[in-house]
Structure 1
Amino acid sequence: MAYNRLKREEVLLLVIDVQERLVPAIDKKEVILRNIAILAQTAHKLAIPILITEQYPKGLGTTVQELQEVLAEAKVLEKVTFSACNEELLTELEQVKRKDVIVVGTECHVCVFQTVRDLLNQGYRVILPSDAIGSRRELNYQNGLAMMKELGAEIWNSESVFFDLLERACTDEFRALAPLVK
C-alpha cells in the first residue's frame, strides 16, 4: 500500500456517529474524543471540509458536547442506515470535489466499517486514524480495523495525519496548531 501524501485540497474529514448515547460505552473514549478534536481543529484551520453523521439522533442523541464547539461549522447528515455512504454523502463529496476521506468515529466494526467499505467500492481513498476510531469492545475494534485494512483502507494515527497535512514546521498554521499535539 502506498500511503501517499495527504493534500489538504484533496481531503475531507468525516466524523461518524460520535453521539451522546453511544460514546459513554466506547472503549478508550477520552483518547478517541481528544484525537477527533485535534483533527477537527486542524481541518478547520486548513479549510478542509468536515461532515458529521448522526445515526438516528432522536434515539441516540446528537454529537457529544465535547466536540460541539470544534465541529460547530460542520454539516450534519442524519441517517438510519449503518453505512453513511448514501446518496446525500456522495453528493456532498462531489460538491466539494474530494476523493480522499479521513474517517473517524464509532463504532469501528459497524458504521465505520460499512461506510469505509462503501466508500472504497465507490473509488474513494480512505484514511483511518486508528486512535480516533472506537468500539465498545477491543476485539470488535481490532477486527473492524483488520477488515478495513484488508479492503484497502489506509491505517494511520492522528499525529501522522496531523503532520502530513501540515507538511512543514515553519508556517503560521503549524505554530497555531502545534500546541494541540504537545
Structure 2
Amino acid sequence: MATNEVLLKDVKPLLRGFECQVIVLQRAEADPHFTRHGEAIYKYIVADKTGSIVLSIWGDRAKCIKSGDILRITGAEAKIRYGLLEMEALRASKVRRIGQDAMCFVEQPNYSEVTPQQLQEQYQQPLQPPRDPRDPAFSGHHHHHHHHPSISQQPPNSAPRLKYSNYPNDRPRRGGGFRGKARRIR
C-alpha cells in the first residue's frame, strides 16, 4: 500500500497528489465535456469499500474505461464543484487499469451527492433515535406501562439510502453490491 494511498471516505476538498484504487460503477454522464482547448473530460462513478464518488478523467484515455474496471490512480486531486465533492485525474495523473470486477465496494454513501454536512447528519447518527416506551408520547397517555402493539417502528437496520438523481445511461445496482469474485461487505 503506497504511503499516500487514500480511501474515498478520507478524500477531502483540495487534497492533491494522492493515490487511490477504485472500481468503476458506471458513467456519471453519457457524454464527455470539452474544455475550451477541445480536451475531453469523462465522468464516472467509482467506488471502494468506503463509498463512491464522481471521478473526472481528462483526456481520451478515459474513452475506453468501462463498468467493472479496477483503476489505480496516482496524482489525483479532489475539489468541490457546485458544492459537491469530486475527484479528478488531470493530464499529469496516472490512470492504470489493474483488473476487472474482483473488488469489494459499497455504493453508499456517495460522497459526490451529499454535502459534507449532510453526510455527518445522515451517517454519523441514527436516522431517528428510538423512542423510549416509557415516554408518554410514545403510546398516548393511557398506556404508560405496556407497549402499544399498533406503533410501527422502523426495522433497526434500515440505513438511509440516497437516491441516484440523473444518471441516464445505466440504472445503479441496488444495494451495496459486489461484482465477480468480490465479496459483499457488511
TM range (shorter): under 0.3
The structure where helix makes up a greater share of residues is 1
Higher strand share: 2
Looking at both structures, which has the greater relative contact order when contacts are Cα pairs under 8 Å and sequence separation is at least 6?
Answer: 1
